[in-house]
Structure 1
Amino acid sequence: MGLTSTTVLALAILAGVLLFAATVWLWPKLSGRTWRAVAGRIGLLLATQLALFSAVGLAANKSFLFYGSWADLFGQETSMGKVVDHSMSSDDIKVVDKQKLDVPGGAKPQVGGQILKVAITGQKSKITSPGYVWLPPEYFQPQHKDQNFPASIVLTGYPGTAENLIKGLDYPMKAFSLSKSGKMKPMILVMLRPTIAPPRDTECVDIPGGPQTETFFAEDLPQAIQSTFRVGKKPQNMGFIGNSTGGYCALKIAAHYPETFGAAAGLSAYYDAPDDPTTGDLFHGDEKLKKRADVLHSIENKKPSGTSFLVTSSEKGEPNLGDTRKFIKKVKGPDRVSSIILDSGGHNFNTWRREIPPMLMWMSGRIQA
């Protein structure tokens, strides 16, 4: 039974309920002062607490997919696999597995598209990160064999996994359905997590003496995508999408690299890098680097270039509403800004699932093949 299975969660809840009932039932019998009675009470309380905490943890993990398997949870996940498909690989991107989309006829890529599990290596940053690539059905169809496609980088939040974007947020399925219904153009999606130096939260910053995370996402990754897949090399060919930490990265990097990205969407993005135990010292006293990490400062001082931005928040539930409104006011033409402001919605997958379809349609109208 997998870590994210409903059966495991149900068993944990059942164990908690049974242990609670057993505690109530046996408490009178364990009310004495003998060491056996005391040990019995302690044992029942600890077992009940453990079961309840396990159930809560499993429920949270099932919703947010922090860990995809038991091996992932206990740090025993090793290599991504040994099978390499050289026909779809390049020096920068190695394909290690393929998945079909769960749609009728999905076993044929020209019908259901294809999800590639990949390992991406940055030529400048020397960082290697796992991820997934969604290739739409049109990519494999003979009539489109010489056609380029628009591409968007998609980042999840911290400490999420790239798998969240497929199983939790359904990016490939949403893109497939919207494209099939004519609501968006076919688009390649390159899906990763921002945590490319785990367990550290590097916030897409080039850390002095540390991981060059911004370089990886802003320079290495677009180059890898363009050298491996049929994607153009102009800013109107490339978008950047993310939720939470990923949204912060998307907005910041698009503001810093308008020559690479024509559009960026930040779902529930925040607008400055946090300073906490997960990040460590990101800037090492470099005030210029610290200001560069401030999205509101970056957008205010950005040279206008025609970049399109989409930001999302909610009137009730999201903590970023005030900064989102500040961002909207700071965008200057010919740059453009759009927004999705929900009446209510917290910082969670359910909120982002409501925002992803209109966001993908928006992105489809901003970047092209």
Structure 2
Amino acid sequence: MSLTGTPFLCTLAVLCVLALGLPLVLWSRVRGPRAVRALARVFMLLFAQLTAVALVFTLVNNANQLYDDWGDLLGTADHVEHAADLGADGTGGMSLERLPRVRQTFGPARGPGMRAAGGVQVTKLEGRVSGVRGEVYVWLPPQYDDPAWRGHRFPVVEMLPGHPGSAKAWFGTLDVHEQMLPLMRSGRIAPFVLVSPRTTLVPGADTGCANLPGKVNADSWLSVDVPRMVMDNFRVQRAPQGWAVAGYSAGGHCATKLAVAHPDRYRAAVSLSGYNDPAAERTSLTGRDPALRTAHNPLTLLREAVAPPRISLYLSGQRGDGYEDALALGRAAKPPTSVQVVKLPRNAGGHTMALWRPQVVPAFRWLTEELDGQRTVSHRPPVTPPGPSSAGARPGAPASGSASPAAAARTR
């Protein structure tokens, strides 16, 4: 029975009703010695509490898409076949152009929200370079099958969840495809192909989207295997032009790091409440070792880059939750690196989906300008509308509209 399926949820609901009714019906009817009666009544109370806790957990999990299946929840799933040392570029010296094309079969994705807005597709991918195997979800814009767009190659946004987090979360909780569909139809947002790969690869740990020989090659999975599969199966632009990566929380950290480390694979990145230091996530594999913390900190990567990467970053956060880290990246950036920092008000919500859902549209408006080559330093910055949990909140104001350290410093 699926962890996120309707049958499991209904079963728990029935058990909760049964657990509530048992004490009402049987409490005074229990027979036997005093110890037996006491034990039976304790069992009924524990049964009622456990079923209630399980139902609440399932509702929360379904609403936030934290754990996709039992393997993720129990820490028994392992999606790493092998983790060879792939070197600095994450390819292991392979000539990617010479590899056979990756042909995948896609089917309709199941779960909350997955059938909305034309439906989401899913495939099981075995990464030839990374040694990782996992699901990849893909949503195609309304123009994709339009005969008038037959020869058009579409831009791509690769979307990463937080930790713990399901690859379905962008669709099932943030409703990205439902929010984008009318805006793409009207031409207000570019028709992006949306891709969400599995990021929970190692039991009980956050990979930090890093290549760690002997453990996992998460970087190569996300920046090599998944993009190559998408380019081989869909009518999309070649990387890096037209390719962006976006994430929230731990996924925001990954999005920034991947873009800074691989400007040859991504042109832009969006980070919602992300962070720089991997140790901000207590289960991060890269946060447990001082050397790895430094090597996988996007701020360090940006400062120590041989040449400033030609990328654009959209970074949003509240004070104490991503905002200061975003400012630090803005101060470190030098042209052609561009950094847009958006400060969110404290009353816009906490570190939850309620905070990030209203930021989806502004972020994609920004991506439309960046990937269409229409960026101007003086353009009006995106505004984050208040979410359902932030009634009365004022829209988030930009903290920095350029990559200039001086401009960033003026906002402090």
Instruction: Work out whether the TM-score is over 0.5.
Output: yes
Aligned mates of 2:102, 2:316 — CA distance in 1:
33
Query: Quick one: which of 218, 221, 228 aligns to 1:213?
Result: 218
Whether the 8 Å contact between 1:122 and 1:128 is mirrored in structure 2 is yes
Partner of 1:293: 296
Aligned mates of 2:126, 2:38 — CA distance in 1:
57
Aligned mates of 1:56, 1:120 — CA distance in 2:
33
Partner of 2:106: 96
Aligned mates of 2:72, 2:293 — CA distance in 1:
33
Confirm or deny that 1:177 pairs with 2:182. Answer: yes
Confirm or deny that 1:312 pairs with 2:285. Answer: no
Q: SS in structure 2 opposite 1:59?
A: helix
Partner of 1:334: 336
Aligned mates of 1:45, 1:146 — CA distance in 2:
64
Shift of 1:49: 2.2
Q: SS in structure 1 opposite 2:343?
A: strand
Report the TM-score when normalising by structure 2: 0.72
Whether the 8 Å contact between 2:103 and 2:233 is mirrored in structure 1 is yes
**1:174-220 deviations in whole A, cap 9, x for unaligned?**
22122123220101111123123445421111112221111221222
Structure 2 CA distance for partners of 1:361 and 1:234, relative to 1, 3 Å: same
Aligned mates of 1:9, 1:180 — CA distance in 2:
40
**1:122-145 deviations in whole A, cap 9, x for unaligned?**
332122221111111211111211
Q: SS in structure 2 opposite 1:235?
A: coil
Could you say what the CA RMSD is over the residues aligned between the two structures, in angstroms? 3.5
Structure 2 CA distance for partners of 1:48 and 1:164, relative to 1, 3 Å: same
Q: SS in structure 1 opposite 2:158?
A: strand
Confirm or deny that 1:53 pairs with 2:67. Answer: no
Partner of 2:359: 355
Shift of 1:255: 0.3
Identity of aligned residues (%): 27
Partner of 1:83: none
Whether the 8 Å contact between 2:162 and 2:251 is mirrored in structure 1 is yes
Aligned mates of 2:39, 2:248 — CA distance in 1:
48
Structure 2 CA distance for partners of 1:75 and 1:94, relative to 1, 3 Å: farther
Structure 2 CA distance for partners of 1:66 and 1:35, relative to 1, 3 Å: same
Q: SS in structure 1 opposite 2:55?
A: helix
Number of equivalent positions: 342
**What are the residue-to-residue correspondences of 1:1-369 with 2, within 5 Å?**
4=4, 5=6, 11=14, 14=17, 22=24, 26=27, 34-68=34-68, 91-98=101-108, 102=116, 112=118, 115-274=120-279, 278-280=283-285, 282=286, 287=291, 289-302=292-305, 303-315=307-319, 319-343=321-345, 344-368=348-372
Aligned mates of 2:33, 2:324 — CA distance in 1:
58
Report the TM-score when normalising by structure 1: 0.79
Whether the 8 Å contact between 2:327 and 2:341 is mirrored in structure 1 is no
Q: SS in structure 2 opposite 1:43?
A: helix
Structure 2 CA distance for partners of 1:116 and 1:55, relative to 1, 3 Å: closer
**Runs of 5+ consecutive residues of structure 2 not aligned to the other structure:** 80-99, 374-412
Partner of 2:410: none
Could you tell me which amino acid in structure 2 is paired with residue 98 of structure 1? P
Whether the 8 Å contact between 1:95 and 1:116 is mirrored in structure 2 is no
Q: SS in structure 1 opposite 2:45?
A: helix
Partner of 2:380: none
Deviating more after overlay: 254-263 vs 64-73: 64-73
Structure with greater proportional helix content: 1
Aligned mates of 1:336, 1:63 — CA distance in 2:
34
Shift of 1:153: 0.7
Aligned mates of 2:239, 2:270 — CA distance in 1:
18
Aligned mates of 1:197, 1:131 — CA distance in 2:
16
Aligned mates of 2:209, 2:270 — CA distance in 1:
16
Whether the 8 Å contact between 2:239 and 2:265 is mirrored in structure 1 is yes
Could you tell me which amino acid in structure 1 is paired with residue 341 of structure 2? S
Aligned mates of 2:197, 2:67 — CA distance in 1:
14
Aligned mates of 1:12, 1:363 — CA distance in 2:
47
Whether the 8 Å contact between 1:65 and 1:164 is mirrored in structure 2 is yes
**1:91-141 deviations in whole A, cap 9, x for unaligned?**
4352230368535xxxxxxxx4x5321123333212222111111121111
Whether the 8 Å contact between 2:241 and 2:266 is mirrored in structure 1 is yes
Structure 2 CA distance for partners of 1:8 and 1:267, relative to 1, 3 Å: farther
Whether the 8 Å contact between 2:67 and 2:164 is mirrored in structure 1 is no
Structure 2 CA distance for partners of 1:204 and 1:139, relative to 1, 3 Å: same
Aligned mates of 2:123, 2:244 — CA distance in 1:
19
Q: SS in structure 1 opposite 2:63?
A: helix
Q: SS in structure 2 opposite 1:118?
A: strand
Q: SS in structure 2 opposite 1:274?
A: helix
Structure 2 CA distance for partners of 1:358 and 1:210, relative to 1, 3 Å: same
Q: SS in structure 1 opposite 2:308?
A: coil
